[in-house]
Amino acid sequence: MTQRKTELPKATGLLSVVSTPLGNLGDITVRSLELLRSADLVLCEDTRTTGMLLKHLGIQATLKSYHAHNEHIILDKILAQLQSGARMVLVSDAGTPGISDPGFLLIRHLLQHGVKVDVAPGPSAILPALLLSGFPCDRFVFEGFLPLKKGRKTRINALKTEARTIILYESPHRILRTVKDLAEILGQDRQACLARELTKIHQEIIHLSLAELSKHFESKPPKGEIVLVLQGASKD
Ligand code: SAM
């Protein structure tokens, strides 16, 4: 006689993608706090950065590194833990995971294996910069960081006729070169907005043309975190 195995109900794991403040702790959401408090494991880029954030928020959690250098290697281990019922949270150093930060590979891998993924929306540098630019925000494109070498010119050339508002991330030590490269191809008069240190005490929003921005930074190199927003190309 063959015996049928009793099927145990499958444990339902969950990965919650949680955004963290860009600089102002007040931007953490109530839902994010609850998810961080109740997580079995918090996956984070840098355990020290997230550890400090959680300490400020009065939350104790088990942290595990998940960053650009190990994300390929640990996908299956995380999958197995979720398949056995773990509740995990994914955060990055600041802002929304997956947006110019690790996250995409894991989310795709889990969805392909039928694991539940949810997102608790919150801070990201894209939208505050877009709104503060005063450029049309009904349609926009996010370009992330421009490549440093290969494909850089091609990417900028492709933006020449882009009519939607364009959002770029950049680091302070590369911004001058990027503004100059953009001015050369998109035109010196293209209007731009530079949003620096968003949500922090020294937040600064500068509205200038690309030529003016380049001049501005030649005399005063910027510091801190930067989003560059460009007005879309005019129809003519
Ligand atoms: N995941 C993040 C998000 O959702 O915005 C982005 C991470 S990416 C590694 C870091 C870049 O985001 C910075 O170089 C800068 O372009 C932008 N950024 C992050 N925080 C910012 C802030 N407070 N002010 C301006 N830009 C910021």
Supply φ then ψ for residue 120, to 5 degrees. Answer: -100, 105
Work out whether strand 63-65 and strand 165-170 pair parallel, antiparallel, or are unpaired.
Answer: unpaired
In one-letter notation, the amino acid at residue 109 is: H
Decide: 90 in ligand 1 pocket, CB within 6 A.
no
The gap between the terminal CA atoms of the chain, to the nearest Å, is: 81
Residues 95, 123 contacting (CB under 8 angstroms): yes
pLDDT tens digits for 37-92? 999 999 999 999 999 999 999 999 999 999 999 999 999 999 999 999 999 999 99
Q: The whole model's pTM is what?
A: 0.94
pLDDT at 235 over 80: no
- What are the start and end residues of each CATH 3.40.1010.10 domain in the chain? 14-120
Decide: 195 in ligand 1 pocket, CB within 6 A.
yes
- Could you tell me which of 193, 199, 203 has the C-alpha nearest to residue 223? 203
Say how far apart CA 17 and CA 63 lie, in whole Å. 14
**Is residue 221 very low, low, confident or very high in pLDDT (cuts 50, 70, 90)?**
confident
For 14-120, CATH number out of 3.40.1010.10, 3.40.390.10, 3.40.50.300, 3.30.1360.120 equals 3.40.1010.10
Residues 100, 78 contacting (CB under 8 angstroms): no
Task: Estimate the crossing angle of helix 71-83 against helix 104-112, to 10 degrees.
Answer: 40
- The residue-averaged pLDDT of 100-112 equals 97
Task: Evaluate whether the domain defined by 126-230 bears CATH number 3.30.950.10.
Answer: yes
Say how far apart CA 153 and CA 119 lie, in whole Å. 35
Chain-wide mean pLDDT for the chain?
95
Decide: 169 in ligand 1 pocket, CB within 6 A.
yes
At 9 the pLDDT is 52
At 2 the pLDDT is 57
Whose C-alpha lies nearest to ligand 1, atom 13? 225
Residue of 18, 100, 143, 178 best suited for mutating to test ligand 1, as the one with most atoms within 8 Å of CB: 100
Residues 91, 18 contacting (CB under 8 angstroms): yes
**Ligand 1 centroid to 219 CA: how many Å?**
24
Decide: 178 in ligand 1 pocket, CB within 6 A.
no
- The residue-averaged pLDDT of 206-220 equals 95
What length does the chain have?
236
- What are the start and end residues of each CATH 3.30.950.10 domain in the chain? 126-230
**Ligand 1 centroid to 195 CA: how many Å?**
10
- The residue-averaged pLDDT of 111-121 equals 97
Q: Where are the beta strands (DSSP E) in 45-134?
A: 63-65, 87-90, 116-120
Residue of 225, 228, 229 best suited for mutating to test ligand 1, as the one with most atoms within 8 Å of CB: 225
**Ligand 1 centroid to 123 CA: how many Å?**
10
pLDDT tens digits for 2-30? 566 655 555 689 999 999 999 999 999 99
Decide: 24 in ligand 1 pocket, CB within 6 A.
no
- Percentage of the chain beyond pLDDT 90 is 92
